[in-house]
Amino acid sequence: MTPQAGLYLKTLGVPQVTLDGAALDVPGKSLALLAYLALEGQTPREVLADLLWTDQDEGAARRNLRVQVHRLRACGVGAWLEVSGSALALCPSVRVDLTELRAALARGEPGQAAALAGGRFLDHLGVPGAATFEDWREATAQAAFEDQLRALDAAAAAHAGAGHWAAALEGHRRALSLDPLRERTVRAVMDAHLALGQPADALAAYETLERRLRQELGAGPLPATAALKAQVDALLAGPAPSPRPAGVPLVGREADCAALRTGRLTLVLGEAGVGKTRLVTEAAGDALVVRGAAELTPLPYGALLDLLRSAGLHRCPERLRPVLSAALAAPGAPGLTDRAALLDALAQALVSLCSGHTLIVEDLHWLDPSTLEAAFLALHRGVPRLWLTARPGELAARADLQAVLARLDPPRLALAELGEAEVARLIERLSGAPAPLFSRRLFEATAGHPLFLLETLRDLRERGLLTERGGRWHTPFDASTVDYAEVPISSSVAAAIAQRVERLGPQTRQLLQAGALWGEIFPVALVAAACDLPELAALDALERAEAARLIVPEGPAYRFGHHLHRRVLAAGVGAPRARLLHGRLARLAPPGTPAAAVARHFEQAGEGPLAWPHWQQAAQEAAGLYAHAEALDLYALALAGSPPPQAAFALHAARSELCRHLDDPATRAQALAAMQALAHDTQDPALHAEHAAHHAKFCTEQDDYEAAVATVQAALNTWGPLLSADHHSALLLEGGAALACLERWPEAEAALNRALGHGPAPARRSNILYWLGYSHFQSGQFERAAEQYRASLAALPGETPTRGRVLSLWRYGASLRRLGQCRDAAAALTDADTCARTLNAGSIRGLIVAEQAALALDTGDHDAARALALEAQALLSPHGDEGWDVLRPVLATVGLVRGS
């Protein structure tokens, strides 16, 4: 189909409507109506009336809308309108330049997208009295403006990568016509002129920008633009430049690119520096990149939250912002309802931020499992493509990630080094002529490893041993050598990188080393302060590293061009200096730095006593995000920092509670033993009471009720007069619960009522009411039980899922079922199951599903009862009794037997 076939809307630049190539006369508001329907789809009439006649009452606006529909039909568009009594739409076959531009970008075809870039959205279209439409047009125009710039940038980059600098220059000039003050584009224009051997034209482009900035903004060009101008000045005053590795073509990966583009989900595997990042970014064109980093590995959603902090939250739909803000600010705060809601919000945020482009997850081996789950859910929610990159060795060591990967089992694409023929082709593309001997020498020295190869070329260029004259590369050895054996190629890429850094001067090296110790991305102000340098002097030094392509700007910070750059720099820091820098970085960490990152720096500075509170904070934040396994590990790191006894006791207690969620009685027993030892060493009555309460709870949950009662009684007898009301209520609660399980109802109720009398906090009050309900339930007093469970739920603060809420909902639903209140029972049990899934509490889910199976049987739904019974049978412990008393009659009725 040609661009003119059918009904076609040109919206970029001066708008135009054509039918089979012939222009139609569509006036102002009719054209506005057509453009809105083409981009927004079917729309109710009342919305359109308000959109285009904002200043009129509803009746007049609806009449005017009918007039415009009539006019559209009269001018030849009628066959393309879909009109109903309540809404208007256009046929799906109507074509729009903006829609096709975005589709081409999503397909990774920047050339086609760039061809459609035409200027400001609906330029010079006048629509009086339509304030709502103007708001929509302004928002759409901004998005269209950015899409056009992305298309032109990507197309120009593709031309530059292929060495077609004239075509690249034309693309950059078109982008500059959209935004004459866009310095990134001006620098690209200057680069293209330099590549074409036109330094005077590069200087003219700079001077035009400088003049416009002075006239319109009263400001000068950015430092990066001024630095490029200085290079142009030097070039005009001196010899021709050496070859530039910028725009290195992607050679030997054509089949890999094609394979990537054929699938929605792919895992790209390859060793460091082999070209994974270059491949996926080249194949994707515009993409949203989530980067794993070693310093973020233990943090739940670390890479995603980092992305939202840096640039993405304001670009997410407004309905998601409360949950996302809660996750960023204070996990567990209002707005963060449960793990399932958080995962869904993050997935939807990724869909929104992708804007129809590919989602790339870099360095998967450094991610936490929760981030990978969110990425997979984003693919399900509408991200067009998800590409993952990882190093195979590091990924194989991550069993937690392997378990998540197994759910979708993405196709693997393994990258190897370039062959000798591919290296020769790359050198020919870069130099413009074959260089077989030189190419063979480079291949032998680098084994075809792309990063090693390019670092070696840069090293040769910066030594002045590789120059370009007349489109051909030359070395000082050309006249005498037969195999380029004399060329001083680095024996290792680490040495090449280190030599490049040294040539930038000591200040730049020190700043880069501090940045390498901080992370993949480092703020300028932070490394400047850590190195005792003024920020402006640090910027000057870092711009030299940027010009050397060791780092790239990212907002107010810098990112290393490749993680090998960072590794080499970090390895070059002596131990005493590294300890000093880590300590400074920890103390100077900017607000919002993850607590785990600060803790790690204190540890690497040899200041463990300052690290453990930050590990504790990181663990609390992880638990607030329902990442219980990660929180357990972070608490262990806090304990390794040798906190004081009172703090260590609290850390063990927190681990004990996490083990309840994770169904890990062995680790929980170890935590309880450590708590007991600390209480014994300190002889603190409060610690003894807290340990007794935790231990009694553990005994009850292990069905050792007599031991639980004995533990509580011993603590009260020994320490009772020295304990606070809070400790009394905690102990009486656990004692009452164990007595209820022993069916000693009067004693249980007496202990629990005494616990209530001590004025416990809401969460404990809810727990006490739960056990009172349990006593009534087990003794057949279902109305009183339901009343207590209802009160237990009402006492819980907020709606955050907790183990107590799950149990109360389960028992409440069970009580209602026995009272014949089936609808309310179903609602309570559904809520209980949802909370249990959020908490990953499989053993409790078995109890809930068994009750749901019995409820289905009560209501006569035998098919549902059978399905639920099978699920409950798989969830319940085969060696326990709880839940089986409810499930066995269901199994018998639906024709199943236990264990089948």
DSSP secondary structure of 165-229: HHHHHHHHHHHHHH-TT-HHHHHHHHHHHHHTT-HHHHHHHHHHHHHHHHHHTS----HHHHHHH
Amino acid 274: pLDDT: 76
Gap between the Cα atoms of 585 and 607, Å rounded? 12
pLDDT tens per residue across span 699-721: 988 889 999 999 999 999 999 89
- pLDDT-flagged residues of the chain (< 70): 1-5, 161-163, 238-248, 296-298, 310-312, 329-337, 431-433, 435, 437-438, 441, 444-447, 459-494, 496, 798-800, 840-842, 879-880, 897-900
Gap between the Cα atoms of 531 and 536, Å rounded? 13
Amino acid 332: pLDDT: 47
Q: Which of 323, 328, 405, 397 is nearest to 361 (CA)?
A: 405
Amino acid 464: pLDDT: 62
Half-sphere exposure for 758 (CA within 13 Å, toward CB)? 21
Q: Which of 585, 590, 596 is nearest to 299 (CA)?
A: 596
Q: What are the two backbone dihedrals, phi and then psi, of residue 646, each rounded to the nearest 5 degrees?
A: -60, -45
Q: Which of 252, 303, 305, 306 is nearest to 279 (CA)?
A: 252
Q: Which of 653, 708, 716, 645 is nearest to 680 (CA)?
A: 645
pLDDT tens per residue across span 665-676: 899 999 999 999
Amino acid 479: pLDDT: 42
Amino acid 244: pLDDT: 37
Amino acid 900: pLDDT: 39
Amino acid 840: pLDDT: 67
Q: What angle do CA 697, 701, 705 make, to 5 degrees?
A: 75
Gap between the Cα atoms of 692 and 686, Å rounded? 10
**Residues 392, 419 contacting (CB under 8 angstroms):** no
**Residues 253, 260 contacting (CB under 8 angstroms):** no
